[in-house]
Structure 1
Amino acid sequence: MIVHFYTRPGCHLCEEARLMLKLVQEDVSFEINEVNIEEDDALHEKYMLMIPVVEFENEIIQYGQIDYVTILDALLT
């Protein structure tokens, strides 16, 4: 399983979300594909007000405040 994690440098919420994803990884095996939206104009325009964004199987699971239960539930269903 691959979870796409859209972020940007210097984003405090992104740092918290990264830690939350690593906590979920302790219970569910998946790979984190971290994408810096500042390296892609289209992604920057799409996600600049939403980051961090967690996406799985082409669906946004959660953005902004990321929590353990929401991510875990999405990966287990």
Structure 2
Amino acid sequence: MRVIFYTKEKCSLCEDAKALLGMLQNEYAFDMEERDIYTNDLWLEKYQLLIPCVEIGTEFLDCEQMNLPRLERVIQGNIKK
């Protein structure tokens, strides 16, 4: 499973979200692809007001939805059995 994590430099919310993902990575097997929105104009336009945000399978969580219980629920729902 792959988690795409949209972020930017010097973002305390992004650091917090990355820490949550790191905790979950200790329990669940997934690859995390970190994308800095300032390296791609499309990402910047689409996500600048939503970061940190993640794509997990077909699910998308933005900064307002980013918490440990919700992330874990989405990851569990996307684990291949």
- Name the CA distance, whole Å, in 2 between partners of 1:23 and 1:36: 21
Identity between Structure 1 and Structure 2 (%):
33
Indicate the SS of the match to 1:9. Answer: coil
Equivalences for 1:7-18 in 2 at 5 Å?
7-18=7-18
Higher helix share: 2
- Name the structure 1 match of 2:68: 68
Indicate the SS of the match to 2:33. Answer: strand
Q: RMSD of the alignment, in Å?
A: 1.0
**TM-score after normalising by structure 1:** 0.92
**TM-score after normalising by structure 2:** 0.88
- Name the CA distance, whole Å, in 2 between partners of 1:19 and 1:3: 14
- Name the structure 2 match of 1:28: 28
Structure 2 residue runs without a partner (length 5+): none
- Aligned AA for 1:13? L
Instruction: Detail structure 1 runs of 4+ shifted over 4 Å in the superposition.
Output: none
- Name the structure 2 match of 1:48: 48
Structure 1 residue runs without a partner (length 5+): none
- Name the CA distance, whole Å, in 2 between partners of 1:19 and 1:75: 15
Q: Deviations over 1:11-70 (max 9, x none)?
A: 11000000000011111110110000000001100000000001111430x211421111
